[in-house]
Amino acid sequence: WALMLLLSVAIYGSHAPLLTLCKVDGAIPFSSTSVVVLVELTKLVLSVLWLLPGPREPLPAALCRRHAAPFALSALLYAANNNLVVHMQLFMDPSTFQVLSNLKIVSTALLYSLLLRRRLGPRRWLALLLLLAAGVTYSCGGLRGHGDPPGTRLHVTPVGLLLLSVYCLISGLSAVYTEAILKSQALPLGLQNVFLYFFGVLLNLMGSVWTGMEGGFLEGFSPWVLLVVLSQAL
């Protein structure tokens, strides 16, 4: 468990810095949907391979589309957030993103309490308030206008704060909604993951076609981008 925890922390903490290393002249050279498609496809393949030896839990007698359909909304929310993360790097530095993105814990807890009717104790509310206060203080200290010089390495623009707010809201919604689905179905977790990642691949492929891929699906890819795909697929 300790090794898994350290690996999870390393993957989470390296995401924004790796995306920054992918930039060319301050711009994102690749399609975010292409990256997310590859991440979701890798997860889908791994989930299918996990199920190949046979389900570790009994399957319901009547497995049908109604079991898979609810995961379409989860996949849509995750697709929106995963693409948003890439573009947010244009409006803040990686360290600021890593700090402020923790505010999604606040939105998740609030939505968890409101939508799932789960009560939070006084200590948890205090912890959330402290986290929120820390995020607000940090963002105010690094806030700069669109035309202002960076000054310091730590910075975030007003557009970045707006995108971050949307990111935290979607993150909370996706987490709460997905948990509700997982607990409402008597299906193996591996099979539920297959449903989720299948819709993830499908929706992001549709996004790629919709936005157009002038230079090709892998346009702008570099070893850093491939490392992003690998790390996020684990």
| pLDDT tens for each residue of the chain, 234 residues long | 678 888 888 888 889 899 999 998 888 999 999 999 999 999 999 999 988 876 555 666 566 678 889 999 999 999 999 999 999 999 988 888 988 888 898 899 889 888 887 777 888 888 888 888 887 776 666 565 555 555 446 678 889 999 999 999 999 999 999 999 998 888 888 889 999 999 999 999 998 888 766 667 888 899 999 999 999 988
The first and second tokens of residue 144, run together, are 């700069």
Identity at 76, one-letter amino acid code? L
C-alpha separations of 164 from 6, 47, 118, 205 in Å: 26, 30, 25, 24
- Three-state SS sequence of 93-149: CHHHHHHHHHHHHHHHHHHHHHHCCCCCCHHHHHHHHHHHHHHHHHHHHHECCCCCC
Tell me if residue 92 falls in helix, strand or coil: strand
Handedness of CA 177, 7, 81, 151 (dihedral sign): positive
